[in-house]
């Protein structure tokens, strides 16, 4: 790929992408997909491969990514994978990482390392059908960033703030997303 | 493990868990965790192992689950893993699968197979810093269930409705979760 790389990001491609979206807003419309099959007990397996975006069906993935989900024994599973709410923490950190690194590259900041620790508090009463007052999902999530980069701390803090405003997964978690669930006929 | 299995779920353990939570509500308090390190470009890697729950630190996982996240080339990545918003779809389906199968077991319904197709619409304007009116996250998510089980359709529909009310990840996506993000000092 031509163009200067910073943090493993092709900065020219980033600029080109922004300009392409400015010229044709439809390029920014994406539709992501997943297919999940239940296996046994708490164990299911998700396949992720194609998506629509930038005006066409993506063909870059020659085989699907496989993600297994399961529960630990204390939650009646067999530990075949991280559970669903742990996968949410992964999704959040992975999103913040991309946002931080891409925006750092756009600002000419070299990132040496970047890490996240996440924790989420959840009360099982609702899942077990024992309360309709306690919410089923996380009551709160705490994220801690660790960053080493060639920029002063105030610039890093400002970048973190910007990333929070523009992170797709943080928005999905912090704000309501309409979800329709339908049984195939 | 002793006790009748249905759908790979130990029904007696399920009943015991519900009774244990009734006797001591603190048993239902869980804290899940993840650690994510950025690798390069859009690529990061999450490790998930320990959690606190049922009154103690879990020790059932002898090694961490590893989930890689990355972007496809059209989003400046190298396809080292599903991206963050695709991981959200996995988390959602994996949660609905557990909810459906555990509650089916509790009701004596034998599930033969169960699958989900998910799609989510997302507009990249916000992520690219080109709009503060368009939300960064999914504008909507569609989930389709496919179920084969030894129960009449009305019972399956009722079960699907119940699962939606009690699903942790569906709650996290449909409703606001407070998230704090802090930079380590």
Say how many CB pairs under 8 Å bridge A and B: 461
| Residue B109 confidence (pLDDT) | 98
Shortest CA distance to A98 belongs to which of B101, B14, B109, B77?
A: B77
How buried is residue A52: exposed, middle or buried, by Cβ count under 10 Å (0-12/13-18/19+)? middle
Look at B140 and A13 and tell me if their CB atoms are within 8 Å: no
Q: Residues B77, B41: contact at Cβ < 8 Å?
A: yes
At B65 the three-state DSSP class reads strand
Span B143-157, mean pLDDT? 97
- Quote the tokens at residue B23: 């006797």
| Residue A185 confidence (pLDDT) | 75
Chain A residue with the nearest C-alpha to that of B51: A119
| Residue A1 confidence (pLDDT) | 47
Look-up of token digits 């020219």 = A12
Shortest CA distance to B118 belongs to which of B99, B144, B81?
A: B144
Helices (H), chain A: 11-23, 84-106, 153-166, 168-174
Cβ under 8 Å to A: B residues 31-50? 31-38, 40-44, 46, 48
In this model, does residue B3 exceed pLDDT 80? Answer: no
B107 phi/psi in degrees, rounded to 5: -95, 0
Q: pLDDT of B74-102, one tens digit each?
A: 999 999 999 999 999 999 999 999 999 99
At A132 the three-state DSSP class reads coil
Chain A residue with the nearest C-alpha to that of B36: A116
Per-residue confidence band for B1, with pLDDT thresholds at 50, 70 and 90: very low
pTM of the predicted protein model: 0.98
Q: Residues B150, B114: contact at Cβ < 8 Å?
A: no
Residue B167 distance to chain A (closest CA, Å): 6
Cβ under 8 Å to A: B residues 106-135? 111, 113-130, 132, 135
| Residue A102 confidence (pLDDT) | 98
| Residue A2 confidence (pLDDT) | 58
In three state form, how does the secondary structure of A33-49 look? EEEEEEEECCEEEEEEC
- Quote the tokens at residue A183: 């049984």
Cβ under 8 Å to B: A residues 136-155? 136-147, 153
Tens-level pLDDT at each residue, chain A (185 residues): 457 899 999 999 999 999 999 999 999 999 999 999 999 999 999 999 999 999 999 999 999 999 999 999 999 999 999 999 999 999 999 999 999 999 999 999 999 999 999 999 999 999 999 999 999 999 999 999 999 999 999 999 999 999 999 999 999 999 999 999 999 97
- Quote the tokens at residue B22: 């009734």
Q: pLDDT of B14-32, one tens digit each?
A: 999 999 999 999 999 999 9
Q: Rounded to whole angstroms, what are the CA distances from A7 to A94, B44, B73, B99?
A: 15, 12, 15, 40
Question: Touching check for B90 and chain A: CB below 8 Å?
Answer: yes
């Amino acid at each position: 790929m031509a163009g200067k790389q910073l943090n493993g990001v092709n900065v020219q491609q980033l600029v080109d992408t922004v300009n392409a979206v400015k010229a044709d807003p439809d390029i920014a419309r994406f539709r992501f997909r997943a297919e999940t099959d239940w296996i046994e007990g708490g164990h299911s397996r998700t396949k992720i491969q194609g998506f629509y975006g930038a005006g066409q069906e993506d063909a870059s993935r020659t085989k699907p990514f496989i993600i297994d989900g399961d529960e630990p024994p204390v939650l009646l599973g067999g530990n075949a994978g991280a559970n669903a709410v742990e996968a949410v923490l992964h999704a959040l950190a992975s999103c913040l990482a991309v946002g931080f690194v891409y925006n750092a590259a756009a600002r000419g900041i070299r990132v040496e390392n970047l890490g996240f620790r996440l924790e989420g508090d959840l009360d099982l009463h609702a899942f077990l059908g024992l309360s309709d007052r306690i919410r089923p999902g996380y009551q709160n999530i705490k994220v801690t960033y660790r960053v080493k980069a060639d920029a002063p701390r105030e610039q890093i803090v400002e970048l973190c703030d910007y990333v929070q405003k523009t992170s797709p997964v943080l928005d999905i978690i912090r704000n309501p997303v309409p979800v329709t669930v339908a049984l195939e006929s």
